[in-house]
């Protein structure tokens, strides 16, 4: 089947006629111009797959400079359009100059029919490949814009959240590695997505890896990729997360869960900006911006010897701490309204509102699960709602920290036990954080935990 379109630029009428007879048997469309001055108009009118361009048009001139000039003009119009140069006065130096300026190939007159057709068909195939690559790149840009569009962040009005917003906007424009810290449910991943969206890499991919879900045996394959046959079941080659994030952002969530023996491998990749696929010996250059997140106390982990100090320095160029919801109570009405609108729309409910008493109740809750817990609470209330106004009872029971009055009838030991237990639960039994909040040393807290059987 005849495929492709060829535009011939040749001033010799006999050569032009011979080329038409030859090429029309092999290509879908063959157009011819006698003068290169008509090229700009013709290129705007049609979209050839390849241009066969003579190099000399003026009588007595055989330097090839005319062909090189029009080659550059074609490339200005469409850098991806293949151009095959055609001349009776060929030399190595001219061919090298032509290829350096973007020519796809070089054919000498008198030509070999089979070779000329094969050269032009190869150029047509190249054109199709370039169009496909261009299409895929355009599609990827659209997908990236969709994936990286502004996440559903409700910044709130509290000073801690406004301070966080200012910091995010300031650091996003840099390429610095950022460590995002905060309790579970504070929205660390949303902050990472916002940093990426606002960065210079915002049109590229954001690749997320949950380090807590990556097993030790698959760590290198997951992050660095592997070659076919590198291990059992490696039936095809696979690109790792680092390569997938090339020119974009790599977000390593729960970095504190990374096993100590694997930390050196991650550090090496970050330092060299190179990865080696499992089963291969050739390093691959990568250019990624690194964002990490954790709810662990990494400096304490360094002191315990479970996290490498040099890795902490590498990932913690700029620390970004996300405040817990209990420190941003002024934002709860705004957040509650945001989630109420979101889930009312999602579950096709009639417009709902939250009563003043219910809002006061939500603001009084401790929210150990932070924004995620508030979000799920609102979602559940919307799903189960039976009236247009949500009241306190619609939100279930959320325990606030014990008040002073609740300790009145307790002994000192009972009150101490209850308070330690409350703070331990609040911080998911993170001993270091609990000790810090209680203002005691870790050994002291460990003794009290043992004493009270906590």
Q: For 395-422, what is each residue's pLDDT tens digit?
A: 875 444 444 444 545 567 777 887 888 7
What average pLDDT score do residues 92-97 get? Answer: 78
Give just the sign of the alpha carbon dihedral 340, 342, 348, 350: positive
What is the distance between the alpha carbons of residues 332 and 156, in angstroms, rounded to a whole number? 8
What average pLDDT score do residues 96-108 get? Answer: 87
Tens of pLDDT, residues 316-339: 999 999 999 999 999 999 999 999
Q: Would the pLDDT of 122 be above 90?
A: yes
Contact 323, 275 (CB under 8 A): no
Share above pLDDT 90 across residues of the chain, in percent, rounded to a whole number: 54
What average pLDDT score do residues 31-57 get? Answer: 89
Q: Which has the higher per-residue pLDDT, 36 or 152?
A: 36
Q: Would the pLDDT of 74 be above 70?
A: yes
What average pLDDT score do residues 340-363 get? Answer: 92
Quote the pLDDT of residue 400: 47
Question: Which of the residue ranges 45-49, 58-62, 178-182, 343-347 would you say has the lowest mean pLDDT?
Answer: 58-62
What domains are defined for the chain?
5-136 (3.40.50.2300), 159-321 (3.40.50.300), 325-395 (1.10.8.60), 404-452 (1.10.10)
H/E run at residue 251: strand 249-253
SS3 call for 275: strand
Question: Which of the residue ranges 158-162, 357-361, 380-384, 423-427 would you say has the lowest mean pLDDT?
Answer: 423-427
Quote the pLDDT of residue 62: 64
Quote the pLDDT of residue 113: 93
Quote the pLDDT of residue 224: 93
HEC string of 48-65 equals CCEEEEECCCCCCCCCCH
- Tell me the two tokens of residue 74: 């074609």
Quote the pLDDT of residue 139: 65
Q: Would the pLDDT of 60 be above 60?
A: no
Q: Would the pLDDT of 148 be above 60?
A: no
pLDDT tier at 179 (50, 70, 90 boundaries)?
A: very high
Q: Which has the higher per-residue pLDDT, 176 or 417?
A: 176
pLDDT tier at 173 (50, 70, 90 boundaries)?
A: very high
Tens of pLDDT, residues 257-314: 999 999 999 999 999 999 999 988 889 999 999 999 999 999 999 999 999 999 999 9
Quote the pLDDT of residue 402: 47
Quote the pLDDT of residue 250: 96
Q: Which has the higher per-residue pLDDT, 326 or 152?
A: 326
The DSSP 8-state label assigned to residue 411 in this structure reads -
Q: Would the pLDDT of 145 be above 70?
A: no
Q: Which has the higher per-residue pLDDT, 212 or 295?
A: 295
Give just the sign of the alpha carbon dihedral 270, 274, 277, 278: negative
Contact 284, 137 (CB under 8 A): no
- Tell me the two tokens of residue 231: 């291990």
DSSP 343-379: HHHHTTPPP-EE-HHHHHHHHHS--TTHHHHHHHHHH
Quote the pLDDT of residue 399: 45
Q: What is the mean pLDDT of the chain?
A: 87
Quote the pLDDT of residue 260: 92
Q: Which has the higher per-residue pLDDT, 139 or 163?
A: 163
Quote the pLDDT of residue 175: 93
What is the distance between the alpha carbons of residues 216 and 223, in angstroms, rounded to a whole number? 11
Determine if residue 67 is left, alpha or beta; phi over 0 gives left, psi from -120 to 50 gives alpha, anything else beta.
alpha
Quote the pLDDT of residue 61: 60
What is the distance between the alpha carbons of residues 51 and 39, in angstroms, rounded to a whole number? 10
Q: Which residues lie closer than 8 Å to 210 by C-beta, 6 or more apart?
A: 253, 254
Q: Provide the terminal-to-terminal Cα distance of the chain, rounded to the nearest Å.
A: 79
Q: Which has the higher per-residue pLDDT, 146 or 338?
A: 338
The DSSP 8-state label assigned to residue 285 in this structure reads E
């Amino acid at each position: 089947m005849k495929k492709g379109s060829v535009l011939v630029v040749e001033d010799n009428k006999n050569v032009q006629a011979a080329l038409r007879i030859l090429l029309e048997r092999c290509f879908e469309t063959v157009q011819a111009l006698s003068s290169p001055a008509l090229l700009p108009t013709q290129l705007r009118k049609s979209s050839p797959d390849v241009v066969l361009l003579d190099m000399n048009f003026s009588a007595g001139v055989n330097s090839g400079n005319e062909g090189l000039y029009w080659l550059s003009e074609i490339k200005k119009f469409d850098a991806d359009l293949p151009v095959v140069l055609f001349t009776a006065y060929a030399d190595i130096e001219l061919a090298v100059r032509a290829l350096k300026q973007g020519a796809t190939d070089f054919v000498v007159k008198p030509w070999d029919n089979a070779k000329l057709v094969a050269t032009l068909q190869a150029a047509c195939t190249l054109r199709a490949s370039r169009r496909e690559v261009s299409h895929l790149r355009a599609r990827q840009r659209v997908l990236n814009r969709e994936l990286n569009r502004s996440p559903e962040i409700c910044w709130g009005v509290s000073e801690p959240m406004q301070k966080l917003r200012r910091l995010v906007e300031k650091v996003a424009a840099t390429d610095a590695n950022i460590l995002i810290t905060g309790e579970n449910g504070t929205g660390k991943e949303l902050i990472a997505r916002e940093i990426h969206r606002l960065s210079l890499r915002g049109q590229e991919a954001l690749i997320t890896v949950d380090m807590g879900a990556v097993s030790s045996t698959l760590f290198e394959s997951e992050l660095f990729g592997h070659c076919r046959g590198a291990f059992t079941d490696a039936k095809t080659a696979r690109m790792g997360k680092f390569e997938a994030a090339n020119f974009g952002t790599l977000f390593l969530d729960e970095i504190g869960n990374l096993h100590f023996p694997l930390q050196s491998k991650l550090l090496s990749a970050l330092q060299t900006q190179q990865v080696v696929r499992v089963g291969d010996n050739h390093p691959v250059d990568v250019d990624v911006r690194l964002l990490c997140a954790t709810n662990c106390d990494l400096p304490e982990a360094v002191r315990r010897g479970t996290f490498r100090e040099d890795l902490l320095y590498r990932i913690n160029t700029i620390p970004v701490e996300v405040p817990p919801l209990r420190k941003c109570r002024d934002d709860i009405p705004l957040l509650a309204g945001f989630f109420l609108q979101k889930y009312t729309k999602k579950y096709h409910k009639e417009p709902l509102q939250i009563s003043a008493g219910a809002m006061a109740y939500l603001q009084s809750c401790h929210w150990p699960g932070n924004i995620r817990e508030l979000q799920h609470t609102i979602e559940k209330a919307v799903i189960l709602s039976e009236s247009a106004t949500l009241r306190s009872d619609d939100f279930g029971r959320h325990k606030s920290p014990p008040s002073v009055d609740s300790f009145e009838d307790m002994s000192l030991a009972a009150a101490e036990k209850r308070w330690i237990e409350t703070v331990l639960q609040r911080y998911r039994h993170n001993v270091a954080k609990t000790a810090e909040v209680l203002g005691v040393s870790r050994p002291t807290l460990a003794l009290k935990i043992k004493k009270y059987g906590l």
